[in-house]
Structures are given as C-alpha cells and as structure tokens.
A and B are shown apart, each in its own frame.
Chain A
C-alpha cells in the first residue's frame, strides 16, 4: 500500500491550474453485513455513487441535496473520515483518497471542516482557548505564547471578546459556538474549508451573522469553501457554483446565476419550487411542483435515472438508461437528464423561474 502511494505519479495527476480540488468518480459504499461470526456482505448503502466535480481556488461550491442524498458523506470523504470505496480526490498534486501517514497529516493541515452542530462539535471539557489552539498545538505552529496570542487574535477575528479565552463552550450561545468552531478551523490557515450545514442549527437572526463572517474570512484569507447545505436560499447567497445531489449522484452542476434562472434538471426545478419565499404576494402567485413519494432507499437505487420514480417528466427511456452528467449549454452548465430541454416548460407558474424573470417585467 505504501508503494502505491509512493509510485503515484504526481506529475500526471496534478489538476489544471485554478482548480484546488478535483474529485473524480468518487464512490462511497457502506457495506451491510449479516451474521455474527462470519459476517458476509449482503448489500451496500450506496451513499455516494460516482461523483465528479472540481472546485476553483477562492470559490465557494455549494453542494445541495436533501437528507440521504450523500452530500455530507462527500464532505467526510474529503477529510478522510471515511476510507473511500473508489475514486480520486486530487488536492494539489496529491490524491486525498490514497494519502497515508505523514502525507495525510500534511494534507489535513490544509483542509479543515466546520460541522453543523456546534453543541456537539466542541468538547465541553476544553476551554475555548484550548479548543482554538488544539490544531496549532498538533501542527506545532509556534511557541506556547505565540499560540496564545494567535488564539486571542482569532477570537477577535471571529467577532468574540479575546477575554473569553478561558471560558467553556456551555457559556456560549449557538451562534457564538459556531464562531469558535470557525476560529478553530481557520487557526492553521487552511486553504480549503468544508462547511457541513454550518448555519442550519442557528436561529434566523444569528444565521446572517455567521454567513457574513464566513464570507469576510473567505475574502481576507483567500479560502476555498465547499458549502454543504439543504437550504437553497442560503446556497444562493453564498455559493459561486452549485452542485445538486440526489441519491448519491450529481443531478446538476452550474454557476449560480444559471442554475437559478435556467435549471436544467427536473429535480432542481422541484427543489426550487418547494422553497417557501418569505413574501405572501410571491407565495400566492406560485404554483409548486409537488414531488410524489419519498426518496428511494440508497440500498436499492432505481434502475435507469435514479430520479425517474418521482420525476414529473419521466419517459420510458428514463427507466432504462441512466443519463450522464454532461454539459448542456456549452458554457459549463452540466445536467444529468435525458429531457433537460423540457425542464423549462415545467416552470410555468411554479414561481421558480418567476423568481428571476417575472419580476423584471
């Protein structure tokens, strides 16, 4: 195994300049086993089932999908909380999927993660100072006093009083805890930050503060974000490009403006039409595309297009042939649908396209 990592020809696999990370055909299957002594595999949860995308340096890629779509699994694969089943995750010249030992440690320093629930992600027995300093201590970025100074500086950066350094997480509100988690993540100046639903557990009035903070830090530190969320309104605000995931695969990948004005996948269209808009006049005008049924089980993924069981425009070919994720416009707007040209007609009155076109008249 050591050998395979060592012989990995970095010159050939290095991504084109501009991309900080390139995910190629990533697969993460969780085995389902039966039996106690002789465990045999009887199936697999196909959480991520062949996903490819690239993230440009300095951009925010929004990864959206509903629960069970596999979006969080991708985030966890990228920091190697899971050993991936197959596929590559090129970061600079290195493959995160293959990295081991010292190489993995160096890579981890450059990739950090922010989790959804700041009540669970911060150790309640560690002081705020210790929590923020931990990554710096692990990577030995300086002497104790240097780390202490940097910790206080970080607290100021995320908008907390540096005198809080000796307090404990329970003394802070949810929004403040998320600020601490952010300070911890940026303490070793990573290049790439994976934020898994970073504002979903926060109250509305606090959410905006944390979003603004993340955007300010991105500008100041030149961070690249993978922003994982289920909230289309939030992703519209933060992301430069957006990937829509359904049942382990990407359905659509496009820059923000294109995705919202001209969605090319019926699932994206349904998602957009389902989001309530805090405005009664708009709400009254809208007609929703109500999807029938529930998400199929990731153990038993439908044949053909995995969305066909709920798709309002599915034809017989959709039950047989899985559509590839391909560029539909020639301008990098990718969609995995046989009938992407018909998606626009779904929008009549759905209020999703209305979002961007009707209002202009």
Chain B
C-alpha cells in the first residue's frame, strides 16, 4: 500500500534575532492509509512544528522550511502555492488543536463555523449543508444538536468545544487528521470521551491520524506506531507495542522510567533523566541527548544514523542499550534498568514488598 503521506528530510528553522532555531532538523517518516501514528516528545522537541509544517501553517518569517519534501497523495506540499494549499487545508487534511477556546471564533455561531468547510470543500449549500452540519454534531456526540448548532463557543464546555472542533475537522471527510495535543487541556474523564471518539472516527471513516502528544499513556492506547522526538530529531520509531516492550534509545528508556504510572506502587523514588532539554539556540553538537545520557560515548559528538533494530523499529543511537556491558557502564553513571512493564504489573505484590 502506498503511503498517504511521506515526510522526507524535513527541516523547519526559525530565524530570530538571537540566531537560528533548528526546531525540526531532518525528520523523515511516512504514514499509510488508515494508520495512526503518534509523535511523542517534550516541549521544544519539534513535534508541533512538524505537524504545523505539514499544513504550512507557520508564518514565514520567522519560520522557514529550509529543506525536505512533504508528499501528500503524490504532491509536494512544500512547493505548492497558497491557493492549492487552501483546498487541502480543512479538506483532505484537517487539524485539531490543543486549545479549543482559542481555535474557535468566539463571535461566530458554532453552526456557521461548521458550515464553512461544508461550503468550501464539499460545495453543499442551504438546507443540505445545514442538515450535514447537524449530522456532524450528532456524530461527535453533542446532544440536542438542532438547538446547539445556533450556540456560540462560550456556551460550550471544554470537552464539548473539542467535539465541535472535531466535527469541523471531519466535515469534509479528510484523508488525514492531525491532532496536536487534542486532550491536553481536558480533564481525564473528558479526555477518555474524546479519545474514544477519535478512535471511533478512525475506524468508521478510515482516516489516517497523526497524534501529537507528550503523554505516553495517550499514545499507548490508540496508535499503531510511535515516533519519539527529541530536539528536532526522531530519536526512535517503532510499532507501539514494540516501543514500550523493547525501547532502544536511551531517551525513550528514560522517558518510560520517569513517568509515574497508575498501576505502579511502592516505587519510592522515580527514576529521572538528569538535566533539562537543550536550549535550541545552542544545542549540543552531535547527538542532542548526550549531555543527559548515561550511555554516552566519544562517538556521540557526531549525530548517529538511525539503526534498524527490528521490524519497523529504528533508533538513532550509537550504543546498543541492550548489551549487558553497556548497561553495566551506564549503571556506573546512575542509570537504573527499566522496571518491568507490560503484563508484569504487580500491584499487590509490589504493595506488600513496600
């Protein structure tokens, strides 16, 4: 199956007074039809800039795509002119943002905002369009849709606004949905509702999804594959199960170990990644993770190539983090091997050990 989206060697840089910020610095990935890929990373990792670059939503200046291609259905979005792009934005590719209150227009009725993509991309007018809008609101689980369609954003709760955003995003039956931290601003019980909704839409409409988040728990549930980003690079990529069971990049190891888990008691001290993410104005040369990495070797002053470590599984690291000799060496630097995850969570025994 041909991929629906291919991102090849993408570099998005920001020119600022203080220097160039290489927010995305050589990112390559593709996405198959109907596939859901999660991009995980901390603030400043470049995950959001990657997604905004796909739709060319970053203002130039300061942002500039300096290199790379973004091929969507055989066409390069990077070289596409603005008029053609407008047909794709909100049409074939739709986006959901983190904060539904700032992405909805406060002085426009929900219905009018929802009718926009229906007019523009589907060419529907009048009653037909209106009925489609009501259908969409129902599809995303908004009760009393006939009345609510006349409401304004401030009359909706956070979760309901995000549902409206999703309704607008799926209005033109997009092939690709980019969701940038879609549940970060929401409460857990509402997050569960929204994730279930995105999962359902993905199954029903066979939409491909790029899900951007900092929350490893969110990606664990609904993605097929995961890309882990750090300082503008993809540190590791793997099928979801494989990434959690067999992480191969020191950053992924650290990330998995430092998250407090609901199914985890009796661990008295959380493992940490020392230091802080790099200053993107002056990133360390070579591998950007090396100042924080317990596995660091001399070679790390050169950025490592991505090494294939399993089917669909690549890690950009010089070191084999599974080799006993390397683990021994890292332990001397304070590295603690990952506690067992997946199937082996042992609430009660751990409780009693404590």
Residues in A lying within 8 Å of B, measured CB to CB = 66-67, 173, 175-176, 203-209, 211-212, 215, 230, 232-234, 236-237, 256-257, 260-261, 270-284, 288, 290-291, 293-295, 355-357, 359-360
Contact = CB atoms under 8 A, between A and B. Distances in A.
Given A280-B240, A282-B263, A294-B160, 10 more contacts: A66-B190, A203-B214, A205-B277, A207-B260, A208-B270, A232-B188, A260-B265, A271-B189, A278-B341, A290-B189
Given A175-B276, A208-B271, A290-B196, A277 B262 contact: yes
A201 B168 CA distance: 29
Contacts of B240: 280
B196 A204 contact: no
B254 interface: yes
Given A232-B188, A276-B221, A359 B244 contact: no
Nearest to B45: A203
Contact of A355 (B159, B160, B262, B269): B262
Given A208-B271, A280-B220, A294-B157, A355 B345 contact: yes
Given A173-B276, A212-B269, A295-B157, A261 B347 contact: yes
B220 A203 contact: no
Interface string B244-261: 110000000011101111
B195 to A, nearest CB: 8
B258 A236 contact: no
Contacts of B76: none
Given A233-B260, A276-B218, A279-B342, A359 B347 contact: yes
Nearest to A294: B157
Contact of B259 (A66, A204, A209): A204
Interface of B: 42-43, 143, 157-160, 187-193, 195-196, 214-218, 220-221, 240-241, 244-245, 254-256, 258-265, 267-274, 276-277, 341-349, 351
B348 A272 contact: no
A271 B192 CA distance: 10
**Nearest 7 CB-CB pairs, A to B?**
A276-B217, A356-B347, A278-B216, A66-B187, A208-B258, A274-B192, A208-B270
A256 to B, nearest CB: 7
B188 A294 contact: no
Nearest to A203: B42
Contact of B345 (A176, A234, A279): A279
23 contacts: A203-B42, A203-B43, A206-B276, A207-B260, A209-B272, A209-B274, A237-B264, A237-B270, A270-B189, A274-B191, A274-B192, A276-B218, A277-B262, A280-B244, A281-B241, A290-B193, A290-B196, A291-B193, A294-B190, A356-B263, A356-B347, A359-B343, A360-B349
A301 B188 CA distance: 21
Contact of A276 (B214, B220, B255): B220
Pick the most buried of A205, A234, A294, A355: most chain B CB atoms within 10 A of its CB: A205
Nearest to A270: B189
Nearest to B196: A290
A109 B245 CA distance: 48
A195 B313 CA distance: 41
Given A204-B259, A205-B272, A279-B345, A256 B265 contact: yes
A277 B217 contact: yes
B217 A278 contact: yes
A327 to B, nearest CB: 22
Contact of B348 (A173, A204, A208, A261): A261
A67 B196 CA distance: 20
A282 B347 contact: no
B189 A291 contact: yes
Contact of A204 (B188, B216, B274): B216
Contacts of A288: 192, 196
B10 to A, nearest CB: 23
A359 B187 contact: no
A256 B265 CA distance: 9
Contacts of A277: 217, 220, 261-263
Contacts of A270: 189
Given A208-B260, A270-B189, A290-B196, A357 B347 contact: yes
Contacts of B216: 204, 278
A205 B277 CA distance: 9
A273 B221 CA distance: 13
A296 to B, nearest CB: 10
A230 B187 contact: yes
A359 B345 contact: yes
A282 B43 contact: no
Contacts of B158: 67
Contacts of A271: 188-189
Contacts of A282: 220, 263, 342-343, 345
B13 to A, nearest CB: 22
Contacts of B265: 236, 256-257, 260, 356
B188 A275 contact: yes
A352 to B, nearest CB: 8
Contacts of A359: 263, 343-348
Nearest to A267: B189
Contacts of A232: 188, 262
A232 B262 CA distance: 7
A283 B220 contact: yes
B303 to A, nearest CB: 20
B347 A279 contact: no
Nearest to B191: A274
A233 B241 CA distance: 21
B255 A204 contact: yes
Contacts of A234: 260
Nearest to A235: B260
A360 B256 CA distance: 22
A280 B241 contact: yes
Contacts of A283: 217, 220-221
